[in-house]
Structure formats: C-alpha cells, structure tokens
Amino acid sequence: MMIELTEDTLNPEKITELVRRDTNGSVITFLGTTRDNFEGKTVLTLEYEAFDEMAVKKLEEVRQELMAEFGLEQVAISHRIGTVGIGEISLVVAIGSPHRKEGFNACQKAVDRIKEVIPIWKKEVYQDGSRWVACEDHEFSPEQASGQGHSH
Amino acid sequence: MELNVRLFALYRERAGKNIVTVAVADGATVSDLTDEVRRQIPNLAPPEVKIVVAVNTDYADSEVVLQPGDDVCLIPPVSGG
C-alpha cells in the first residue's frame, strides 16, 4: 500500500521495499521520529490524531503531485497515529527514482507538504500537562481569557 | 439548514465534544458557519485567528456556499510528521 495511516509500529524496511525497482538507481527513505524534549521540558509520549478520510485523500494528492513534478513512479508514505512512544517512527516517506537528485528533492518536498496540508495533529504529553503542537496562535491573551464567559 | 460540524484535536478538546450542530441560513457560507460556531463556543479560538474549514474532505475558502448534507470539519493548525 503506497499510502497508509496506521496505529501499528511502522516498518521502514517493508515500506522501502515497495519503491525498489530494477529501473531505479536510488532509494531515499525518510524517517520522522518522536523527540523527547520541547523547550527544556521532557516529553513523555506523543498522541497523534487524524481526520482519517481527508488525511488519506490529501496524502494521495501529495503523492500524485510529487510523481508529476519530479517524474517519479514510486512514492510510498506511511504515517502512524494514536499513542507513539519517544524515539519511535511516526512517519516514513520512501522514494524510488532512476537517479538520486530527484529523489532527494522529492523527499524534502514530500515532508514539507505533509507538515503543511495533511489533517494530522500531534500532542506532546509532559509530566505536568500537554500541548497541541503548532497551535501557539490559538492561545488566548490574558485579557481575552478574562473576558470569556462575558462575551456574546 | 442544520449542519453537523466535526471537530478535531485542539477544537475537540476545547469544545468538549467532537460534533457541534449549527443552524445556518440557506445560502450560508463557510465564514457564516464559523461565525455561528464561535458564537456557540467562544473559547474555540481567539477572535483574530482564522478557523480553517474542510468541506467534503477538501479545504474550503471562507466564501464557499454550504449545501445541506455537507461534511463540514474544523481543522486546527496541523502538525503531522
């Protein structure tokens, strides 16, 4: 399966094998792994949530875009969802191509696009709380927060 | 018309539920819908933040006109990878 959302542990070798062809001289596999810290705080675990139907559809669109732009035929993307422990693999992008250059470029673009458009969210869980990543602009200022409950 | 709007991640937690039902006029746009959701759930997002909406699993601009039965979802900032 060239696009996959799964709660199971990702197997990068298996995903890489999907894009290997005798006509390809290059295989690039990118692994996104879960980091154990944020601004000095220890991250205990990560929780990934997806809008499944749209995420799969948008991943396939990204895959088609990459294949068209870089003239590729083999692109596989797997994203883990659910609870993911520290140091585990949350994303695998594998790209097979005749030559390395388009493979590297396509891989970089794939990860950038995934982070921009795919409706998947990650929450970092700390000892004393949690945080939805990339939602800083949604914090209420103290004035706004104190005004809540009186609005309408 | 009434629409069931699905909420994910930050929005789901702030609303305390994963679906909110909103009534909007026929011919209402995405931005009319987000105005109504904000009225119901003021703590969803600060007023200066634009709420991103997906209609039928595609991102929809604020002027898109909604139809009865549309699958409408509010999409907080994404952070896959």
CATH number of the domain enclosing A107:
3.90.1170.40
Quote the pLDDT of residue A148: 60
With 50 as the cut, is the pLDDT of residue A145 above it?
Answer: yes
Q: Which residues of A touch B47 (CB under 8 A)?
A: 144
Residue B43 lies in a domain: yes
**Residue in A51, A132, A138 nearest the CB of B73:** A51
Quote the minimal CA–CA distance from A82 to chain B in Å: 12
pLDDT in tens, A26-41: 999 999 999 999 999 9
pLDDT in tens, B48-76: 999 999 999 999 999 999 999 999 999 99
Residue B81 lies in a domain: no
B7, B40, B44, B79, best to mutate vs chain A, most A CBs in 10 Å: B79
In this complex, how many residue pairs, one in chain A and one in chain B, have their CB atoms less than 8 Å apart? 89
A135, A140, A143, A148, best to mutate vs chain B, most B CBs in 10 Å: A135
**Residue in B39, B76, B78 nearest the CB of A118:** B78
Q: In angstroms, rounded to a whole number, what is the distance separating the alpha carbons of residues A126 and A86?
A: 12
Q: In angstroms, rounded to a whole number, what is the distance separating the alpha carbons of residues B72 and A17?
A: 37
**Residue in A119, A139, A141 nearest the CB of B8:** A119
DSSP state for residue A32 in the 8-state scheme: E
Q: In angstroms, rounded to a whole number, what is the distance separating the alpha carbons of residues B36 and B41?
A: 9
List the domain range (segments joined by +) for residue B71: 2-75
CATH number of the domain enclosing B68:
3.10.20.30
Residue A8 lies in a domain: yes
List the domain range (segments joined by +) for residue A63: 3-127
Residue B80 lies in a domain: no
Residue B50 lies in a domain: yes
The number of distinct structural domains making up chain A is: 1
Q: In angstroms, rounded to a whole number, what is the distance separating the alpha carbons of residues A115 and B80?
A: 5
Residue A72 lies in a domain: yes
The number of distinct structural domains making up chain B is: 1
